[in-house]
């Protein structure tokens, strides 16, 4: 017996739209992240690289359904990848439970990676499920010489080179380099 799944494949491309995050997306984005990760999301090591900082310019994306509801989010942040220099840290990425069968997570990843490349970034780092992120080219061997400012499962610390060799000299501590939120308010 097969389950009834009405037109999900046919609807998927039109079922959502990816766009730049806007100020009115903050509350629904935070609610989505709370649902996806719980309160423990603020204790994660990568949060140390995000707190008090703005995401990289042009690299905070959301997905909305046809009714305009926020159903997905991804952000990238400026970091220094040790001796390799400037990089981006991806995360968090989240998709609303009701939209997980639409391919939205993959679409958000492809959009974020493509945009980062067009903007001239050289590499992306993240902490996540290696099997899922491998389809986008992320690999743990690119981060072997890097450390994060807190505990991390090494097999989940992944890198992607947007420019060949960008992480070849990646040795040292990953540190946040993005613009502080206070500087944005004062500007």
Question: Is 4 within a domain?
Answer: no
Residue 50 — φ and ψ, nearest 5°?
A: -105, -35
Handedness of CA 92, 122, 20, 135 (dihedral sign): negative
| Residue scoring higher pLDDT (185 or 73) | 73
CATH of the domain at 69: 3.40.630.30
Question: Is 3 within a domain?
Answer: no
- Predicted confidence at residue 181, as pLDDT, reads 83
- Predicted confidence at residue 11, as pLDDT, reads 40
Q: Are 174 and 82 in contact (CB under 8 A)?
A: yes
- Enclosing H/E stretch for 102: none
pLDDT digits (tens, 9 = 90+) for 99-123: 988 899 999 999 999 999 999 999 9
Helices (H) and strands (E) in the chain, counts: 6, 8
The residues with which 139 forms a beta bridge, in sequence order, are 159
* Cβ neighbours around 117 below 10 Å, total: 14
Write the burial class of residue 141 (CB in 10 Å: 0-12 exposed, 13-18 middle, 19+ buried).
Answer: exposed
CA 126 to chain centre: 7
pTM over cut 0.75:
yes
pLDDT digits (tens, 9 = 90+) for 151-177: 899 999 999 999 999 999 899 999 999
Question: Is 2 within a domain?
Answer: no
Domain containing residue 50 = 14-186
Q: Are 61 and 91 in contact (CB under 8 A)?
A: no
Question: Is 1 within a domain?
Answer: no
Question: Is 36 within a domain?
Answer: yes
User: Across residues 143-153, what is the average pLDDT?
Assistant: 94
Among the listed residues 107, 131, 122, 133, the one whose alpha carbon sits nearest the alpha carbon of residue 166: 122
- Predicted confidence at residue 48, as pLDDT, reads 82
* Structural tokens at position 147: 């450390």
Please tell me the total count of domains within the chain.
1
- Predicted confidence at residue 52, as pLDDT, reads 85
CA-atom Rg of the chain in angstroms: 17
Question: Is 137 within a domain?
Answer: yes
Q: Quick one: pLDDT band at residue 13, thresholds 50, 70, 90? A: low
């Amino acid at each position: 017996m097969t389950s009834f799944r009405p037109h999900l494949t046919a609807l998927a491309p039109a079922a959502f739209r990816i766009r730049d995050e806007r100020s009115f997306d903050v509350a629904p984005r935070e609610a989505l992240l709370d649902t996806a990760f719980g309160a423990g999301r603020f204790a994660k090591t990568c949060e140390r690289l995000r707190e008090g900082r703005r995401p990289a310019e042009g690299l905070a994306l959301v997905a909305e359904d046809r009714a305009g509801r926020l159903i997905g989010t991804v952000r990238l942040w400026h970091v220094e990848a040790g001796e390799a220099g400037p990089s981006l840290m991806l995360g968090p990425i989240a998709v609303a439970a009701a939209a997980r069968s639409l391919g939205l997570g993959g679409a958000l990843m492809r959009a974020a990676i493509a945009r980062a490349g067009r903007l001239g970034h050289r590499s992306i780092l993240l902490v996540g499920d290696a099997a899922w992120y491998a389809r986008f080219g992320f690999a743990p061997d690119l981060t072997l010489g890097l450390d994060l400012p807190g505990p991390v499962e090494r097999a989940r610390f992944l890198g992607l080179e947007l420019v060949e060799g960008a992480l070849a000299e990646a040795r040292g501590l990953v540190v946040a380099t993005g613009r502080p939120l206070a500087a944005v308010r004062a500007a």
